[in-house]
Chains A and B, each alone.
Chain A
């Protein structure tokens, strides 16, 4: 069994462990400090006064003391001592600042500097490019190259370039004096060759070797080239991107000119001015165009506004850097012309924080400081502005819940206080007190939210009773607003129960019953209660208010209209009320309108028929009571509890004359309404009794011979005791709904139409001159005796046999049916049926000799067996009634063809193409 082991550092070893680790770390830190100091140490002489200080712009420079052989890495502003040799590395530049002038060293340049006892400075150029600029008021410089000594007058600027033992000089301003007494004025240029002879050469006065040109815009920079001296007849100017002129940007023939101007983009260029097709003398130099765009102001944004109440805001200013700028002059002014600055500071970085500004509108601007070409402050940014506003006092928060005078149920687990959120609030202070002056608060809290929840012990501290609460807000500066207007609430254990019962919401009360109606409710409140009745739901227009100690109230007297009622409890500042319930005090129902009979609409009474009195339904009515009176006032009819809106009455016994009618509506009591009566409706009407038409013949015993019915039909006869305005005989064949005739009548006698055999019924419909219906009350029937059917046609056949295949049908796209004629037949009925006995074709062929039919529409057929029949008939003059039927001759035929169910599919034999 493998034993599990677990390493654990014992506590007693932990302390020494950490001590050792700390000692090691401290030792390592000290060692690194020494190393850093040693590595970046700039040697200083304690026993000697420095003659100059050195600054460098790019990378670094090295220095060797006169008596030492070790090269020393220089820091910014290192002292330079008499006899020091200074060397700049590749792509480095440095400036040695003397009391009387400055010496600029280009890359890969080595000089030795001396200070003579008379205070004059001697510069010995050993290699590279250097520019000496002597002050107007300073002492003269001497310049040594290859053992030759030149005196440099005050206020002179000379540029020297040494390469491979040769040196060339350009006097830019002032004057220099050679040992042999030769003078060179500004604009002149000369060389010292390897033999130490001084020769005046082609002199490029602009740009200087290693000149840097600062351009403040994004446009091309115009560079002026100017030269003088011998050999300007055949001159070529080349501009290249590299030192070796392998990438020549431009080659310009400037023969015979003393200068030209070129527009160049930012960057480093090498120029060469050569005479005589490059074989003669040439001058070259490096030119750097630095694009130093003016700073753009980033923050605060233009017209940004800062707010504060008591503490001035810290405003952070940010702007973009300008290339080669070493510092910025930052100015804040209250004037857009930047006069009388409020703040003026130097900043080495492109941001600054100012916290001393009070309320007002400010303008700010930064001006970069350029060391290059000793330009100093130049190229200022645009002026931007911002505002600082001081805000007014904080306002008290608005309280939400609990509402003023509200009950708070302590039996719940927690209660919540809430108020409106404020924009500037960092916290809120809430206080709950039993005293109106808010002294000794029971709850006092500070919260970040716009509510607090009180529970547990705090809740227990709230005894039943009245309390007050207020809230104030605190802003981010710690300022506190005034307290909100205090609110009161009642703390109670449990909820108040109080609810109204009768009349329920939307109840309709018939006004006569109101005084006896009892208003009832339930409550667990023992203090005084009021019943209130108002004309509006908000109980602003209270028409009745009475204190009551029971749970019911009656004896009200109100006008018709809409009301709300409620129970309200008041105790001190505490008040609670039930929701108002709506009820209506309504008048009597409207009297129901009688529709039939009326003064203009008589009661028409037929023998042995009831006459129906009807009226319009009255909304809300449940039943009606109807009474009839003779003209002498004698009541002859009384019926109560009529549920519908009509009532049939037997009036056969009534005489024609004028009668009076009374109708009243009633409604039952229900959940939403009390019982109600309507007003009484009375009316008079006239009663008229009429007599219907009588039928005479043919009557039920009449039998008509079949052939007579067709060729010599008998007559209908009927009679009426009243003259008629219109009359119509209606004749129907029993068992055949389609056989019906309606025949208008002008007299009382009318000939029958042609009829087939069968049983018929007839009656007369008629109207009097005053449009009363006097139709016959019964129908008469009679029989037409049958005629024997026609015999079936002989030799019924299809031409071409009775099998029709595809080949036959393609050749003969029709089928001909034929049969023999039948004696006395007027027409033939030809029919074709399929196997399901569906009728496909029915043709009536008129004429005794019409014994052939050609079926052209074969599309109604299909594959299979078909049955066809033909029979002889006699059809009536109406063209459709079969008066005499015949026996059917029957035959069949077969349609046969074959369909390929998979056929008719397109074959895809390749792709379709169009040209």
Chain B
């Protein structure tokens, strides 16, 4: 339903992109796997050791892999990889895994250790056989490494304790951004100690990815954690929580790991009427005939804001103003009407817990000078002048909400009317009262 409604505002989308520049407000946090995803398109899992990172491999496959890589030693017939495991009882290293590389492994300098090494301390030995098949003793290298325990995080539910659901409404002012995650192997987000188990949490929606600000509470059994996110960054959207272990194992993306941020009221419809007092500030043509615009003046506006985000609301509006013009001279009287109607693009920024809305708007429309006539004595009346002219308007306003619906508005607009005889600039200070549906 909602998507259908949005189709109505394709034009408005265009407007957003004009302002937005595509992604001005989006966060630049990258999802953990996005940057190097391209490197792992190799279907057989074999890849060049230069591009291999163990954690990326595990993360991509979401299962434990143990790619063992080394630098190329040149024209080599084969490498022999010997891995010795430390016997905890005696402290001695005992052979655990031996492998001679095939041609492909020799070229790419990578093997995937199978079966996987269990947790423990190891020493690896790489023996190099030159192309003649002779062992290059001097090039044998040793390296110690540790295989650590991996814990695959699992997210069973994601909820917003404040509302006891998985949806956060941005309409409310008391949002604290604390999201409760339950599941398995959910370790602390903050890394207290280098050796402690730690889980990386990412809340992502499309290209947007958010990291927690801090941990609020944590269950000792690692089954529950409460994470606080920056409310200023939690924009409207459907978010997926990804918990990733240091090993790269991460939680599966499924519906229980999703979280929705939205406005309860998905759009604002404002109707407003008020008084405006146009002041011509350049092109003296009109003031020359009509000393000043008459105080008989009014304006009305309707605004529709369907794009609501934390950084502000976007929408369209229609503005109509009317001003009576009249000037009495000794020999004649001149009078007429000026209508202005504009289609506006709006940007509203809520301030002070949405008690005040600061609005910037601009648009294009028509200025209609209607029935401008000279009245001479003896009921001699000149032929009326009626003209439609192209007009542009930009302005800003502030709306002060007296309650959730009723508001008063103070605004100042500037309009520019293009006529073949003149280019008229008018400032429209105005006050009004409105109602939000």
Contact = CB atoms under 8 A, between A and B. Distances in A.
Contacts of B75: 806, 897-899
A897 B76 CA distance: 9
Given A903-B74, A903-B139, A911-B148, 10 more contacts: A810-B131, A899-B76, A900-B73, A904-B73, A909-B53, A910-B53, A910-B248, A913-B66, A913-B149, A913-B245
- Which one of A806, A902, A913 has the greatest number of beta carbons of chain B within 10 Å? A913
B67 A904 contact: no
Interface string A849-876: 0000000001111110000000000000
Contacts of A897: 74-75, 130-132
B71 A809 contact: no
Q: Which of B126, B127, B133 has the most CB of A within 10 A?
A: B133
Interface in B201-260: 245-249
A18 interface: no
10 contacts: A858-B134, A861-B134, A900-B71, A903-B74, A905-B126, A905-B141, A906-B68, A907-B71, A912-B145, A915-B152
A853 B126 CA distance: 34
Contacts of A809: 131-132
A909 B69 contact: yes
B117 A914 contact: yes
B200 to A, nearest CB: 14
Contacts of B116: 914-915
Contacts of A810: 77, 103, 131
Contacts of A904: 70-71, 73, 79, 126-128, 136, 139-141
Given A806-B75, A861-B132, A906 B246 contact: no
A901 interface: yes
Contacts of B143: 905-906, 908
A913 B148 contact: yes
A808 to B, nearest CB: 9
B58 interface: yes
A813 interface: yes
A900 B72 contact: yes
A902 B55 CA distance: 25
A263 B63 CA distance: 69
Interface in B46-66: 49, 52-56, 58, 63-64, 66
Contacts of B246: 911, 913
A905 B70 CA distance: 5
Nearest to A857: B133
B134 A862 contact: yes
Nearest to A902: B71
Contacts of B73: 899-900, 903-904
Given A913-B248, A914-B117, A903 B147 contact: no
Contacts, number: 139
A370 B63 CA distance: 85
Nearest to A856: B133
A895 interface: yes
Nearest to A806: B75
Q: How many of chain B's residues touch chain A, expressed as a range?
A: 35 or more
Nearest to A911: B148
B124 interface: yes
B150 interface: yes
A312 B152 CA distance: 89
8 smallest beta-carbon distances between A and B, as pairs = A903-B73, A910-B54, A913-B247, A806-B75, A897-B75, A913-B150, A859-B134, A900-B74
B47 to A, nearest CB: 11
Contacts of B22: none
Contacts of A906: 68-70, 124, 126, 141, 143, 145
A862 B132 contact: yes
B64 A911 contact: no
A903 B54 CA distance: 20
Nearest to A858: B132
B285 to A, nearest CB: 76
B126 A914 contact: no
B146 interface: yes
B119 interface: yes
Interface in B269-321: none
B147 A914 contact: yes
B377 interface: no
B118 interface: yes
B103 to A, nearest CB: 8
B95 to A, nearest CB: 17
B74 A905 contact: no
A914 B72 contact: no
Interface in A30-82: none
A910 B146 CA distance: 11
Nearest to A861: B132
Interface in B148-195: 148-150, 152
A899 B136 contact: yes
Nearest to B142: A906
Contacts of B130: 863, 897, 899
Contacts of B71: 900, 902-905, 907
A674 B127 CA distance: 77
A910 B55 contact: yes
Given A897-B74, A900-B72, A905-B71, A859 B132 contact: yes
A301 B79 CA distance: 83
Contact of A899 (B49, B68, B133, B139): B139
Interface in A504-551: none
Nearest to B51: A909
A863 B74 CA distance: 13
Nearest to A912: B147
A859 B132 CA distance: 5
Nearest to B129: A859
Contacts of A912: 54, 66, 117, 122, 145-148
Contacts of A915: 63-64, 116, 149-150, 152, 247, 249
A813 B75 CA distance: 13
B72 A903 contact: yes
Contacts of B249: 913, 915
Given A899-B73, A903-B72, A908 B145 contact: yes
Task: Determine which residue in A810, A862, A863, A910 has the highest number of CB atoms from chain B within 10 A of its CB, and name it.
Answer: A910
A895 B133 CA distance: 13
Given A914-B147, A915-B152, A909 B247 contact: no
A895 B103 CA distance: 21
A903 B128 contact: yes
A902 B71 CA distance: 8
Contact of B74 (A858, A898, A907, A908): A898
B140 to A, nearest CB: 7
Contacts of A863: 130
Contacts of A901: 138-139
A859 B137 CA distance: 13
B49 A913 contact: no
B137 to A, nearest CB: 11
A298 B373 CA distance: 133
Nearest to B55: A910
Interface string A783-811: 00000000000000000000000100110
Contacts of B245: 913
Given A859-B133, A897-B131, A912-B145, A907 B247 contact: no
B75 to A, nearest CB: 4
Nearest to A909: B53
Contacts of A902: 71
A914 B150 contact: yes
A313 B146 CA distance: 77
Contacts of B146: 911-912
A899 B77 CA distance: 11
Contacts of B72: 900, 903
A909 B128 contact: no
Interface in B363-383: none
A809 B130 CA distance: 10
Contacts of B63: 915
A907 B70 contact: yes
Contacts of B55: 910-911
Contacts of A895: 132
